[in-house]
């Protein structure tokens, strides 16, 4: 009998609904939503089972969103009602956890799970068995994860038989027999049905490498899994102290195990845990501690949920487009996803009209030689185009497959900065669009990609070298919806060797030391490798930024290795260059270029006041914004005239140009570089200065 929910329960219920709807809003409004699993699967896959409803019903993006929200609300409400009807308070944290983890595409599966639960909690009867069979059939028609529903239905029917012992009549056994016969028949006669049925567990032995499907990796989404542990540990801990039956503890442990192994199935596993626990609450706690615990859970869930959805989205209502929409480009054809978790986004009806995936997340339909595709992707990431012999005697190199499969686009996560750098060096791919989630490369030579490639290049060039701003538009090429997106896009831009553009996109945010260090290192490297001297301004800031980043990064992470080696390369170049500098400057210049501020301070005492001011400015440069740098350089340069030889003065003018370029002040940058060239045409920075001027005047 349902009790009237107290205010706190209603609060939890509302927040859960908000979280689910928030997740829907987050994914659907920007990148489309596949409520029904798409009927078209990867080009390289074997015959697969397609959800029948998706074969006959093609949802438009608008209707999919509306239906998803409606179903999301129904699922949330039914979950809350189901939990509350049992007066089992410890299930509320599970509901919150479920709401956090539920993926929009799992809504129909969640709906079926709830239907099964509601049916199985009804008194045992032959109608109940038939109803359960009906829900199972419904599940196979509307969701790809029907294996879970089948398992629950079968378990429920067989449990009922076990409770009845030898008293089971033939009439009572008919639903179970019919269900088993249907299932066996479908496995035998319907291609791909069996493997699809086994999907909820077959990923364990078929799972792809982590970088290709992080959601199938144990602890793949580390934060959400640990939150899940938290949410599940509370009721399980209570269960271990109570009179829960052995079966329920087993189910609890099993689902926790299942949830911990895969982010993708975490929410489903939680819902099973939620729905399979006993109807009667065995635990009695005083209302005060119960309320405290629940308030803590509610606050935690709300904060996490709001963080996931994004404050801007909540406050601004309908958000601005956040993701690149490749369907608006001329491109079409096959697409290589380097992250198969994105398959759903690329299989909405609008996408399917123009694109087909080489491989998607249908591991139940993967052929036996999937390593061919993975190796292809590995070679793409590493730009291994030509043939090479592997240690097992097989041949690597992606060119033969590239010709055979002829993909038009390649999609990689924007946070995979090392792979993006590699791909930017490939002769076969050019960047076409970047957003906070993915970076899209187009195949060179495909005429349908040419226009967008040109536009993307123009965007990148203008962001890096702010010229021709009248023709500048980031629309559908560089997209960002919030500060996290900005950072992801900035990381990709830096990998593509557009450090000024990356700094602009990151809003010069110093709270992300790794990104800032990468950008400044890229700038310092650019100058050092195209000049016969290092840039005091860029390199000093880079050295300090890298050291700071290394102090916060895990020691053996790939980012830390990359930064360390990048810095070593720049410092090695400095060592070579310092041999050529005049004796009297060598110690001071080397100290600045290696970030040795103590030696710089000591050496400064021997210099006259205006020159000291210049070096003090360099020492303060890491803490100054680009605009402040420009102002300070403009202040110090007049005082340096007459106190520095022409070479030195030209160098400071060059730094003013660099600072102005970083600040986007074209009207200051160009004159500064021109003046630097006039003051000392043979400056060590002449080539890089010439390059900067060419780009700014293009």
Partner 1 sequence: MKSFIPVLFAILLAACSWILVRAPYATSTSQDRLQLSTGWADESSCIQCHTEAKTFSKTGHARTMHTAGHSDLQPLIQLMRETPAFSQDGLSIESRGSDLRVQRRDGESFNDVTLNWCLGSGDHARTWIGTLHDSDGTTNLLEFRWTWYRELQEFGVTPGQPDEPGQGYYSHLGVLFDHPKARRCLGCHSTRLPIDAGQIQEHQIQAGVNCQRCHGPRQSHVASDGEIREQFWSSASRDEQVARCAECHRHPDEQDPRTVRRDNPDIVRFQPIGLAQSACFQKSQMTCTTCHDPHRSLAEQQSKSIGQCLQCHDGATADRPGCGLGKTEDCLSCHMPKVKMDRPVHFTDHWIRVRDEANSP
Is residue 221 part of the contact set for partner 1 (CB under 8 A)?
no
Q: Are 146 and 110 in contact (CB under 8 A)?
A: no
Torsion angles phi and psi, residue 5, rounded to 5: -70, 135
Q: Are 323 and 346 in contact (CB under 8 A)?
A: no
For the bound state, the minimum distance from the C-beta of residue 623 to partner 1, rounded and expressed in Å, comes to: 23
Is residue 575 part of the contact set for partner 1 (CB under 8 A)?
no
Q: Which is nearer to partner 1, 247 or 292 (CB)?
A: 247
Site for partner 1 in 578-607 (CB under 8 A): 580
Q: Which of 142, 688, 693, 696: binder of partner 1 (CB under 8 A)? A: 688
Max Cα–Cα distance, the chain, nearest Å: 108
Q: Which of 18, 570, 652, 663: binder of partner 1 (CB under 8 A)? A: 570
For the bound state, the minimum distance from the C-beta of residue 439 to partner 1, rounded and expressed in Å, comes to: 17
Q: Are 502 and 417 in contact (CB under 8 A)?
A: no
- Each residue of 122-157: b (16+ CB within 10 Å) or e? eebeeebbebbbebbbbbbbbbbbbbbbbbbbbebb
Q: Which is nearer to partner 1, 477 or 683 (CB)?
A: 683
Is residue 405 part of the contact set for partner 1 (CB under 8 A)?
no
Give the strand pairing for 395-396 and 407-413: unpaired
Structure tokens at 511: 């709270």
Q: Which of 250, 292, 602, 606: binder of partner 1 (CB under 8 A)? A: 250
The closest alpha carbon to 79, from 248, 229, 233, 277, belongs to: 277
Q: Per-residue DSSP letters for 125-169?
A: -HHHHHHHHHHHHHHHHH-TTHHHHHHHHHHHHHHHHHHHGGG--
Handedness of CA 282, 283, 286, 292 (dihedral sign): negative
Q: Kindly give, in sequence order, each residue whose CB lies less than 8 Å from that of residue 347, ignoring residues fewer than 6 positions away.
A: 34, 38, 40, 357, 360
Residues in the interface with partner 1 (CB under 8 A) total 82
Site for partner 1 in 49-108 (CB under 8 A): none
Q: Which stretch in 67-75, 83-91, 387-395, 430-438 sits in contact with partner 1 by CB under 8 A?
A: 387-395
For the bound state, the minimum distance from the C-beta of residue 389 to partner 1, rounded and expressed in Å, comes to: 5
For the bound state, the minimum distance from the C-beta of residue 181 to partner 1, rounded and expressed in Å, comes to: 32
For the bound state, the minimum distance from the C-beta of residue 225 to partner 1, rounded and expressed in Å, comes to: 11
Can you tell me the distance from the alpha carbon of 433 to that of 98, in angstroms, rounded to the nearest whole number? 34
Q: Which of 130, 219, 300, 508: binder of partner 1 (CB under 8 A)? A: 219
Q: Which is nearer to partner 1, 261 or 453 (CB)?
A: 261
Q: Which is nearer to partner 1, 206 or 674 (CB)?
A: 206
Q: Which is nearer to partner 1, 448 or 564 (CB)?
A: 564
For the bound state, the minimum distance from the C-beta of residue 218 to partner 1, rounded and expressed in Å, comes to: 5
Site for partner 1 in 323-382 (CB under 8 A): 369-371, 374-375, 378, 382
Q: What is the 3-state secondary structure (H, E, C) of 331-381?
A: CCEEEEECCHHHCCHHHCHHHHCCEEECCCCCHHHCCCCHHHHHHHHHHHH
Q: Which stretch in 23-31, 293-301, 396-404, 477-485 sits in contact with partner 1 by CB under 8 A?
A: 396-404
For the bound state, the minimum distance from the C-beta of residue 251 to partner 1, rounded and expressed in Å, comes to: 12
Is residue 447 part of the contact set for partner 1 (CB under 8 A)?
no
Q: Angle at which helices 246-261 and 222-240 pack, to 10 degrees?
A: 170
For the bound state, the minimum distance from the C-beta of residue 278 to partner 1, rounded and expressed in Å, comes to: 14
Q: Are 33 and 65 in contact (CB under 8 A)?
A: yes
Is residue 383 part of the contact set for partner 1 (CB under 8 A)?
yes
For the bound state, the minimum distance from the C-beta of residue 399 to partner 1, rounded and expressed in Å, comes to: 5
Q: Are 420 and 414 in contact (CB under 8 A)?
A: yes
Q: Which is nearer to partner 1, 76 or 426 (CB)?
A: 426
Q: Are 419 and 411 in contact (CB under 8 A)?
A: no
For the bound state, the minimum distance from the C-beta of residue 257 to partner 1, rounded and expressed in Å, comes to: 5
Q: Which is nearer to partner 1, 74 or 198 (CB)?
A: 198
Angle among Cα 15, 18, 21 to the nearest 5 degrees reads: 155
Q: Which stretch in 100-108, 294-302, 597-605, 676-684 sits in contact with partner 1 by CB under 8 A?
A: 676-684
Structure tokens at 526: 């650019």
Q: Which is nearer to partner 1, 2 or 230 (CB)?
A: 230
Q: Which is nearer to partner 1, 33 or 377 (CB)?
A: 377
Is residue 261 part of the contact set for partner 1 (CB under 8 A)?
yes
For the bound state, the minimum distance from the C-beta of residue 276 to partner 1, rounded and expressed in Å, comes to: 16
Site for partner 1 in 178-217 (CB under 8 A): 204-210, 217
Q: Which is nearer to partner 1, 322 or 516 (CB)?
A: 516
Torsion angles phi and psi, residue 87, rounded to 5: 55, 35
Structure tokens at 284: 């009695």
Q: Are 109 and 26 in contact (CB under 8 A)?
A: no
Q: Which is nearer to partner 1, 470 or 579 (CB)?
A: 579
H helix intervals, 50-145: 52-56, 61-85, 91-101, 107-120, 126-142
Site for partner 1 in 510-569 (CB under 8 A): 518, 521-522, 524-526, 529-532, 558, 561-562, 564-566, 568-569
Distance spanning both ends of the chain, measured CA to CA: 76
Q: Which is nearer to partner 1, 31 or 224 (CB)?
A: 224
Q: Which is nearer to partner 1, 54 or 224 (CB)?
A: 224
The closest alpha carbon to 430, from 443, 416, 417, belongs to: 443
Q: Which of 47, 185, 191, 400: binder of partner 1 (CB under 8 A)? A: 400
For the bound state, the minimum distance from the C-beta of residue 688 to partner 1, rounded and expressed in Å, comes to: 7
Sheet holding 438-443, edge to edge: 355-357, 333-337, 407-413, 438-443, 429-434
Q: Which stretch in 253-261, 291-299, 474-482, 611-619 sits in contact with partner 1 by CB under 8 A?
A: 253-261
Q: Which of 421, 512, 548, 616: binder of partner 1 (CB under 8 A)? A: 421
């Amino acid at each position: 009998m349902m009790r009237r929910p107290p205010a706190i329960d209603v609060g939890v219920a509302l927040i859960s609904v908000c979280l689910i709807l928030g997740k829907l809003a987050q994914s659907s409004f920007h990148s489309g939503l596949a409520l029904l699993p798409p009927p078209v699967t990867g080009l390289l896959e074997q015959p697969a089972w397609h959800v029948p409803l998706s074969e006959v019903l093609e949802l438009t993006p608008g209707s999919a969103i509306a239906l998803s929200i409606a179903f999301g609300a129904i699922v949330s409400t039914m979950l809350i009602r189901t939990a509350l009807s049992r007066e089992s308070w410890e299930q509320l944290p599970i509901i919150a956890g479920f709401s956090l983890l539920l993926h929009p595409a799992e809504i129909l599966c969640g709906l079926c799970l709830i239907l099964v639960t509601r049916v199985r909690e009804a008194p045992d009867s032959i109608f109940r068995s038939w109803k359960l069979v009906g829900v199972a059939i419904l599940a196979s028609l509307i969701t790809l994860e029907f294996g879970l529903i089948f398992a629950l239905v079968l378990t429920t029917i067989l449990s009922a038989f076990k409770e009845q012992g030898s008293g089971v009549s033939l009439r009572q056994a008919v639903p179970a027999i019919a269900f088993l016969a249907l299932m066996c028949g479908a496995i035998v006669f319907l291609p791909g049905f069996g493997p699809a049925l086994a999907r909820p567990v077959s990923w364990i032995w078929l799972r792809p490498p982590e970088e290709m499907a992080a959601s199938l990796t144990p602890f793949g989404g580390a934060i959400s899994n640990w939150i899940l542990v938290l949410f599940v540990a509370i009721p399980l801990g209570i269960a271990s102290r109570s009179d829960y039956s052995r079966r329920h503890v087993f189910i609890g442990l099993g689902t926790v195990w299942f949830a911990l192994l895969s982010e993708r199935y975490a929410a489903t596993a939680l819902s099973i845990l939620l729905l399979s626990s006993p109807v009667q609450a065995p635990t009695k706690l005083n209302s005060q501690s119960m309320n405290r615990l629940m308030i803590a859970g509610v606050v935690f869930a709300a904060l996490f949920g709001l963080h996931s959805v994004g404050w801007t989205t909540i406050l601004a209502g309908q958000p601005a487009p956040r993701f690149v929409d490749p369907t608006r480009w001329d491109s079409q054809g096959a697409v290589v996803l380097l992250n198969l978790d994105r398959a759903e986004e690329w299989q909405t009806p609008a996408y399917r009209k123009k694109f087909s995936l080489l491989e998607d997340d249908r591991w139940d339909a993967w052929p036996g030689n999937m390593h061919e595709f993975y190796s292809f992707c590995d070679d793409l990431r590493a730009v291994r185009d030509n043939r090479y012999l592997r240690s097992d005697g097989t041949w690597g190199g992606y060119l033969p497959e590239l010709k055979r499969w002829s993909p038009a686009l390649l999609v990689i996560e924007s946070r995979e900065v090392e792979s993006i750098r590699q791909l930017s060096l490939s002769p076969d791919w050019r960047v076409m669009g970047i957003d906070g989630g993915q970076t899209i490369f187009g195949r060179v030579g495909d005429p349908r990609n040419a226009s967008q490639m040109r536009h993307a290049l123009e965007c990148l060039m203008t962001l890096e070298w702010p010229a021709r701003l009248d023709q500048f538009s980031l629309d559908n090429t560089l997209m960002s919806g919030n500060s996290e997106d900005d950072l992801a896009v900035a990381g990709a831009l830096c990998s593509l060797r557009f450090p000024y553009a990356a700094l602009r996109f990151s809003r010069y945010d110093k709270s992300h030391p790794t990104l800032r260090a990468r950008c400044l290192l890229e700038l310092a490297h650019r100058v050092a490798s195209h000049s016969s001297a290092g840039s005091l301004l860029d390199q000093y800031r880079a050295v300090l930024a890298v050291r700071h980043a290394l102090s916060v990064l895990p020691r053996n992470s790939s980012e830390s290795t990359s930064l360390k080696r990048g810095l070593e390369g720049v410092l090695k170049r400095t060592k070579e260059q310092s041999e050529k500098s005049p004796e009297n400057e060598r110690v001071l210049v080397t100290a600045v270029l290696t970030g040795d501020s103590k030696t710089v301070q000591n050496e400064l005492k021997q210099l006259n006041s205006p020159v000291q001011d210049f070096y003090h400015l360099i020492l303060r440069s890491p803490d100054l914004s680009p605009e402040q740098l420009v102002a300070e350089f403009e202040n110090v340069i007049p005082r340096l005239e007459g106190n520095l030889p022409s070479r030195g003065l030209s160098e400071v003018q060059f730094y003013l140009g660099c600072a102005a370029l970083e600040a986007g002040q074209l009207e200051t940058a160009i004159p500064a570089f021109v003046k630097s060239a006039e003051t000392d045409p043979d400056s060590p920075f002449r080539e890089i200065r010439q390059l900067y001027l060419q780009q700014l005047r293009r």
